[in-house]
Structure 1
């Protein structure tokens, strides 16, 4: 079997799927890319860690014969990274599994592994599967808006992913680490059914990486165990998080009479400067709200350092002071798409709601942040 492919094109596809390979694989074959070559020049390449499988589709310049063989991932990537753009010829002996890579000025050879040893890719159960198409750009936005808020909690694995909720009214993405909660809803994406699943953090990150390369629609298929994301040039199959996502609506305070409108970038920059003076253990910053003014302050008594800055804002409510972990507040400010934000609060002990002041059509963006005790 022999095929010719562009070195830079191959590198681009391999790098996109290589993130699926675990740093320490329980099976040696999972350190390999699986190449499936066809006579019609179509080339499918697979990478997997059993939990998530990435498949990329590309077209070879030419091919002679067909076959399936596993090739070492690290070796291939290192070779391709250091080669200038050029056609590469892969000459594979399917009996001995010897592989020769012929470049313009050299030759590289190694021995592959039998393709039959590669684990079988999971499938969704046809009679239990749900299917719908989602625009790639919409899926990208939903994952980007929520992924940063997922948890790393071994005791509650359901929090370690993004919740997808499908309904005839909208498509909702939710993530929370119990300190912050993000809900991103699209009114222009609807399903003919009601269903949900929890996409783990790793496959969500892989999708976020490959979606900018694609356009058009993504076909999503899922059952109670697995989900398949079919893109024009890529396919991702992953195991879903088992269990029920907590009722996140229960933690959303309904009555928030204290409202502030403030410039998001000004607040983010001020937070970045003032938080340098916060206690390293607590990372606490205080926001003191009064008429037309917000004072952002922090201190570390152990090192006798402190800082504060005043910001102009529109504030409607009683004078109050509330504390937040600055890193969490900074995350939210970095991931909300609006020049100005609305900060809604009831009292210093209850969650604050952060909303975009300028709302986009068909988008409902909602973020919640739990406060810290100021006098703790």
Structure 2
């Protein structure tokens, strides 16, 4: 009963936070600019993917969005990590997948170990994004290897995955660079003293003192628990996909990995609530995005211009919520990612909602399986709590 009341409270908080964000519709220049950058990055990523005839346009679109950060340096760092992790993950799975892909008794546990390893090393790591992208790419490529069997076919799939990520990441870097360097060029060509009066005083508030983070040793039990939960969930999902031919395994697996990646501040406290909050926010964002995308798909009738317009509006709305201060930031981010997954088709624009429904079902399946795993491993939670003195 206590667990159910906590869940209902988290759901209520997420809904109220999203409601406050929508009511307090105040798009500042910084928030509007970030939404515009993300919108242009996604649109350019789709153009690149279609021009190159890539298999999964939606993955290029997600890369174009996920790499974009509010700071230019953050976007460049994230771009490097995404490409590096993707290449290494694809290489590992290409070499290993064909060797064990036809032996499910070995293949499925290896998938679980890969997911567990990615989560363990990503949490509390300075290059967590590279670990996560490496794990996700390795899992996707490994799973395809059991269908493709041969090294050549698996290598072809992995190469397409890398190309999709590179196309989306390149689009983001181009847009971020344009928005970063254009004002600098304008400032050199048109100095402020020639066009306006004295510059306004610097009103930037002082930076807060850095937070004291817990030690790496104190976080190991928490990281181990998250890794075990991820590994078990992926094993269950892979087994169900083998036995029942469930669709959307890729989205289910990505959901498990994404939800279990936590900041160090969250790792320093009880694991369960931060993870449940992320799960609730992901479900909330995904459901809203899924309904909206499925409604819009028939209205666009596959028209490229209408699709791009709807796509751009959806991305801008998601970014606006993500950059808000009402507590619905993760809902906005998950809304955007899910909207891209569901709305952007594989090869070309289409009004067919079936691929969208399959991907959405995969996301929700991942949440359900992970919820059962977390519930089953809840007794381990007390052993992973970081003592306050160890956390600083």
Give the shorter-chain TM-score range. Answer: under 0.3
Q: Which has the higher contact order (CA 8 A, sep 6+)?
A: 2
TM-score (structure 2 length as normaliser)? 0.23
Q: Radius of gyration: which is bigger?
A: 1
| Structure having the larger proportion of residues in strand | 1
TM-score (structure 1 length as normaliser)? 0.24
| Structure having the larger proportion of residues in helix | 2
